């Protein structure tokens, strides 16, 4: 959530800042603004609404070769033009853009007000500009460091001063910030996507670090002015990957990219000859893996649902006790780190605040923590003891789709690896490996039936409430199906284990509340069919996602989506894709903004 861009160089800054903000729209925001410096003066243009609304009011002749920009996701104060960033000090010579939350802003603001500082917004962020003003003596970098020493909370900030042309100072504590290095120009951003059109050479700023950029170069140091040598890294993504490439929306593109994304997550990791998996980034020897006695998976949102699938696989196939836990609860529960436990933290962005803080708490207690991330160079990827990149490519739509199936792919491969080291025969491993290898083809078959699912979505888009019900390994898929529908269509949806319907949810059943049942051809199929009959007996509408040719399920359900008949352990792949499409087409039918649903952010970088 929120996005930062900064630029200094030889090109007009305003177009670069606006393009960078456009690239950051997917993070979620409700207002935006830019500040451009020229001839000893700063010009700020900001407003509530979308980037296109901001672009419409930025003067075509806004001159200047350095500046900062921001997309805001409201935390302190309403969605207004005044609350939008950048924020200025009393003199108008200092401007800042800030991601994060300043926990002690109220006390600082009270002190600054007593010193006759004039505040124009309701935000916690504005206090930073006034703090810097209060200590500024001609050296912006030093003033920023003095001000930051007084703050409690999280921040990723960029700062500029009218009297120091061409200079932008950035700093980070808990909110991502990346430096981009160009030819005679420098970039700062909260995400590499904002600068990919201009450079692929980046430096990742760490917590407690300050970076000062000018067209000629950059300097990194800590708050005590100790210089820090940084490694320049290369972005592997191509600019074309963050374009829609002919699709109507990013979400549609990412749903249809899943066969290739799953294949990338498998590539080089699925050993058909030995019927096992290879995950070199774990940084654990075979003996260390063999000594693992328990696995704990920590995540949030969609990644949490993938983690539940992973825990189910590890217990049922590898026979290793495993649990999935919400990151937001782990950190504050004073978690117990058990001997022999291996922890995974899962985050598409690698910047999810709840997951990052939970990881740090676990590491403080001596845990071995592995990351499962999509974004190379992200904080979780850098701070974890090892891990796995899912290699999905950029995921721009707020609602995650291809990252979910790629995360599941990684957990399937890890389970195969662990099971083959322990109790699984070559024949069993070969069967699972063969089933995994076939998944991209099965997903392609489902995507080819999109018009049938679109018609079904049109038929049921009137619903105000929808239940999603699954058993076993498909219980978390039911949770994910419900999350997708409520995220992008705003239809209220809940996911449950189908067995739990009689323990409360059945009270909601009527002719106006459709129930989506996941009924693969597995050992729990008959149980789920019984639950379907319970709903039908109460006049409920039933949509069933079932295996091809399942006439019994088709005779009970009002509507079916038939998917390839697969092995039980890979069934989540063929079950979830129809639910993604169903949610997508419901949202389109209702006229929703599927890529940027209201109130949501792609990368949740505050608690």
Question: How many domains does one find in the chain?
Answer: 3
pLDDT tens-digit series, residues 86-127: 999 999 999 999 999 999 999 999 999 999 999 999 999 999
User: CA angle, corner 22, sides to 20 and 24, nearest 5?
Assistant: 75
**The two structure tokens encoding residue 188:** 């700062």
Q: Which long-range contacts (CB under 8 A, 24 or more apart) does 227-233 make?
A: 230/179, 230/203, 230/204, 231/203, 232/181, 232/201, 232/202, 232/203, 233/201, 233/202, 233/203, 233/204, 233/377
The two beta strands, 559-563 and 542-547, are: parallel
Cβ-contact 412, 268 below 8 angstroms: no
Whose tokens are 């891990």? That residue is: 387
CA 430 to centroid of chain Cα atoms? 33
Question: Three-state SS for 494?
Answer: strand
**The two structure tokens encoding residue 99:** 């991601």
CA–CA separation, 107 vs 120, rounded Å?
17
Residue 452: HSE in the Cβ half-sphere, 13 Å Cα cutoff: 14
CA–CA separation, 436 vs 571, rounded Å?
10
Do 376 and 495 fall within a single domain?
no
Do 35 and 64 fall within a single domain?
yes
Do 461 and 428 fall within a single domain?
no
pLDDT tens-digit series, residues 215-269: 999 999 999 999 999 999 888 777 667 778 889 999 999 999 999 999 999 999 9
Cβ-contact 315, 304 below 8 angstroms: no
Mean predicted confidence (pLDDT) in 418-430: 95
Do 153 and 177 fall within a single domain?
yes
Q: What is the pLDDT of residue 1?
A: 61
Q: Does 606 reside within a domain?
A: no
| Residues with active-site annotation | 2, 602
CATH number for the domain spanning 394: value is 3.40.50.10490
397, 429, 444 - which closes a domain: 444
Q: Does 605 reside within a domain?
A: no
Q: What is the pLDDT of residue 239?
A: 67
Question: Three-state SS for 492?
Answer: strand
Do 248 and 206 fall within a single domain?
no
Do 362 and 285 fall within a single domain?
yes
Do 68 and 208 fall within a single domain?
yes
Burial class from Cβ neighbours inside 10 Å (0-12, 13-18, 19+) for residue 234 reads exposed
Q: What is the CA radius of gyration of the chain?
A: 25
Do 282 and 361 fall within a single domain?
yes
CA–CA separation, 148 vs 356, rounded Å?
21
In 3D space, the residue among 133, 61, 66, 73 whose CA is nearest the CA of residue 98 turns out to be 73
Q: How are the residues of the chain apportioned to helix, strand and coil, as percentages rounded to the nearest 5?
A: 40, 25, 35
In 3D space, the residue among 269, 270, 314 whose CA is nearest the CA of residue 289 turns out to be 314
Do 73 and 162 fall within a single domain?
yes
Q: What is the pLDDT of residue 80?
A: 94
- For 52, residues 6+ apart whose C-beta sits below 8 A from its C-beta are none
Do 494 and 370 fall within a single domain?
no
pLDDT tens-digit series, residues 581-591: 999 999 999 99
Q: Does 562 reside within a domain?
A: yes
**Percent of the chain scoring above 90 in pLDDT:** 84
215, 235, 255 - which closes a domain: 235
In this predicted model, which residue has the larger pLDDT, 583 or 393? Answer: 583
In sequence order, what are the beta bridge partners of 8? 66, 186
CATH number for the domain spanning 198: value is 3.60.20.10
- For 504, residues 6+ apart whose C-beta sits below 8 A from its C-beta are none
pTM exceeding 0.85: no
202, 235, 268 - which closes a domain: 235
Domain range for 290? 244-444
Mean predicted confidence (pLDDT) in 154-168: 96
Cβ-contact 373, 357 below 8 angstroms: no
Do 337 and 428 fall within a single domain?
yes
**The two structure tokens encoding residue 395:** 């995921």
């Amino acid at each position: 959530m929120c996005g930062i861009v900064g630029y200094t160089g030889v090109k007009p800054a305003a177009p670069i800042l606006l393009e960078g903000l456009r690239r950051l729209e997917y993070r979620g925001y409700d207002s935006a603004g830019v500040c451009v410096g020229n001839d000893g003066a700063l010009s700020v243009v900001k407003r509530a609404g979308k980037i296109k609304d901001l672009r419409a009011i930025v003067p075509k002749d806004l001159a200047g070769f350095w500046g900062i920009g921001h997309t805001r996701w409201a935390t302190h104060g309403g969605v207004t033009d005044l609350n939008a960033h950048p924020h200025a000090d009393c003199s108008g010579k200092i401007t800042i853009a800030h991601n994060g939350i300043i926990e002690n802003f109220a006390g600082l603001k009270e002190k600054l007000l007593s010193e006759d500082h004039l505040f124009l917004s309701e935000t916690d962020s504005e206090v930073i500009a006034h703090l810097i003003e209060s200590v500024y003596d001609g050296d912006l970098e030093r003033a920023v460091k003095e001000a930051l020493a007084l703050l409690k909370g999280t921040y990723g900030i960029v700062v500029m001063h009218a009297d120091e042309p061409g200079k932008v100072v950035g700093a980070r504590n808990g909110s991502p910030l990346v430096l981009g290095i160009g030819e005679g120009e420098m970039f700062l951003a909260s995400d590499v996507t904002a600068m990919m059109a201009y450079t692929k050479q980046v430096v990742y700023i760490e917590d407690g670090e300050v970076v000062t950029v000018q067209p000629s170069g950059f300097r990194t140091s800590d708050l005590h002015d100790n210089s820090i040598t940084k490694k320049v890294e290369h972005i592997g993504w191509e600019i074309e990957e963050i374009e829609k490439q002919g699709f109507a929306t990013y979400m549609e593109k990412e749903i249809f990219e899943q066969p290739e994304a799953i294949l990338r997550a498998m590539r080089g990791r699925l050993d058909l000859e030995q019927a096992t998996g290879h995950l070199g980034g774990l940084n654990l020897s075979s003996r260390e893996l063999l000594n693992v006695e328990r696995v704990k998976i920590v995540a949030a949102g969609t990644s949490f649902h993938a983690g539940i699938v992973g825990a189910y696989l590890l217990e049922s196939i590898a026979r290793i006790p495993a649990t999935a836990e919400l990151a937001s609860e782990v950190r504050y529960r004073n978690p117990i780190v058990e001997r022999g436990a291996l922890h995974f933290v899962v985050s598409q962005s690698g910047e999810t605040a709840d997951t990052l803080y939970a990881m740090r708490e676990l590491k403080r207690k001596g845990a071995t923590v592995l990351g499962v991330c999509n974004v190379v160079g992200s904080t979780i990827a850098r701070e974890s003891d090892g891990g796995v990149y899912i290699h999905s490519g950029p995921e721009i739509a707020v609602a995650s789709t291809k990252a979910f199936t790629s995360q599941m792919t990684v957990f399937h491969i890890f389970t195969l690896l662990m099971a083959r080291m322990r109790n699984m025969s070559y024949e069993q491993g070969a069967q699972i490996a063969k089933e995994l290898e076939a998944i991209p083809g099965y997903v392609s078959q489902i995507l080819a039936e999109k018009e049938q699912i679109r018609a079904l979505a049109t038929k049921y888009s009137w619903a105000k409430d929808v239940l999603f019900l699954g058993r076993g390994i498909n219980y978390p898929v039911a949770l994910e199906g419900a999350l997708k529908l409520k995220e992008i269509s705003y239809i209220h949806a809940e996911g449950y284990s189908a067995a739990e319907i009689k323990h409360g949810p059945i009270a909601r059943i009527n002719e106006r509340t459709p129930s989506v049942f996941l009924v693969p051809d597995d050992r729990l199929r008959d149980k789920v069919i019984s639950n379907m009959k319970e709903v039908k007996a109460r006049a409920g509408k039933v949509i069933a996602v079932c295996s091809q040719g399942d006439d019994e399920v088709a005779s009970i359900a009002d509507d079916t989506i038939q998917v390839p008949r697969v092995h039980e352990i890979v069934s989540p792949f063929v079950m979830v894709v129809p639910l993604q499409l169903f949610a997508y087409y419901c949202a389109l039918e209702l006229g929703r903004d599927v890529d940027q649903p209201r109130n949501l952010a792609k990368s949740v970088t505050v608690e």
